[in-house]
Amino acid sequence: MDDPSSADGSSHGQSAAANGISIGVVVTCYSMDRLVDVLRLIGSIRGQTSPVDELVLVVQQSQELLRALRPELDGLAPTHVTLRFLDVARGVSHARNTGITEITSDVVAFVDDDSILAADWAAATRSFYHEHPGVIGVAGAIIPLWDAAAMKWFPRELYWMLSCTYWAWSHPVPVRNGYGANMSFRREAFLCGRCFSEGCGVGAWGTSGWRGMGGEEPELALRVVRETAKPIMYVPAIRAWHRIRPYRLRAKTLVRRAYWEGRLKAALSRGAAGSTGVLTTEFSLLRLMLRAQSDRLVLLLTRPLTALRQEALVITVVATVGIGFVEGKLRRDRLVCLDDRDSRLPA
């Protein structure tokens, strides 16, 4: 895997002044446990070869974290910085929506607080939006930044469980949705009050495991694409690294995440988004997982324990997702929040 510290932005030198595209970044955070991560992210924003125009940092509940971050935001000029505090933790969707109301840039980007941006991230984002005026959103590449080298055994086709991109495409490709660690939209996506539905999504879950069905990112993406008739593209050149802590690979955590993913797929399959083919991403992933089996046969000859460990996890995850999907069908799960009032910003 690439190392974020070695990212080179020399191939992208355009600034907002050069192509007229301005970028605002929304980051949400909630715990002093993430302070080191947030500081690394801020450092990567400071180190952009083409400066970010706006940064909105939304802190939920933790006054201690708010105080710790204030002095660290100095020196980000020419980036305009806004620090917002929410005294109640109503989930990441509410925090992101708060950030959206503060951003005035042409492109609104969302980055997780434990991500690190490649040095050319802003330049590559500007360049892509400038060259592709018909695109409404971008899903950037999210590369796992393992806390320990021993964690690298994790199979790539399951990177989605870590909120990282499993796609191996080397060129831009249309996708259903991106992941919150590295995604962006044109401001047009949020016209008419569109925003993340606060009836969807999980709250901050720390080390206790995944809680709830999630779905705020595909829900918004499906609605935006449907209402604007413009695609979201996966762009591998727009890179970020996402920190993966050891607890994310615990069996209990992975099983819980897989179960709720199954419930989410059941909800999506009900067509609540008013769109067809909403599970195309899942069918594509299943085909990828089948192809990965042949590669695992080769790995079985060279690293049998790793191959068997990967295979056991893949089988467990697929079975658990299936259980969640069936239960979701029986419960008649659906993303009822797609057209609710909470999926619109106040006028």
| pLDDT for residue 9 | 41
| pLDDT for residue 214 | 73
| pLDDT for residue 271 | 60
| pLDDT for residue 286 | 87
| pLDDT for residue 31 | 92
Encode pLDDT of 240-296 as tens digits. 999 999 999 999 999 999 999 999 888 888 764 445 567 788 888 888 888 898 889
Work out the average pLDDT over 153-182.
94
Between 4-8, 10-14, 84-88, 304-308, the lowest mean confidence (pLDDT) is in: 10-14
| pLDDT for residue 10 | 39
Residue 308 lies in a domain: no
Per the CB < 8 A criterion, the answer to whether 147 and 98 are in contact is no
| pLDDT of residue 7 exceeding 50 | no
Measured CA to CA, the distance from residue 136 to residue 189 in angstroms comes to: 7
Measured CA to CA, the distance from residue 61 to residue 31 in angstroms comes to: 8
DSSP 8-state assignment for residue 162: G
Q: Give strand pairing partners of 174.
A: 233
Work out the average pLDDT over 305-309.
95
Average pLDDT, the chain: 87
Residue 219 lies in a domain: yes
Q: In terms of pLDDT, which residue wins out, 135 or 9?
A: 135
Residue 74 lies in a domain: yes
Measured CA to CA, the distance from residue 178 to residue 85 in angstroms comes to: 26
| pLDDT for residue 282 | 83
Residue 9 lies in a domain: no
**Which of 126, 159, 125, 127 has its CA nearest to residue 139?**
125
Residue 147 lies in a domain: yes
| pLDDT for residue 255 | 95
Parent domain of 230: 14-248
CATH of the domain at 187: 3.90.550.10
Work out the average pLDDT over 211-215.
70
Work out the average pLDDT over 180-192.
96
| Total domains, the chain | 1
Measured CA to CA, the distance from residue 27 to residue 98 in angstroms comes to: 10
Sign of CA dihedral 203, 204, 209, 215: positive
Per the CB < 8 A criterion, the answer to whether 245 and 312 are in contact is no
Between 5-19, 106-120, 237-251, the lowest mean confidence (pLDDT) is in: 5-19
Provide the phi-psi class of 55: left if phi over 0, else alpha when psi is between -120 and 50, else beta.
beta
Tally of residues, the chain: 347
Per the CB < 8 A criterion, the answer to whether 233 and 178 are in contact is no
User: In the structure encoding, which two tokens stand for residue 94, read together?
Assistant: 């509410």
Residue 210 lies in a domain: yes
Residue 179 lies in a domain: yes
Sign of CA dihedral 186, 188, 191, 197: negative
Residue 22 lies in a domain: yes
The structure's pTM equals 0.88
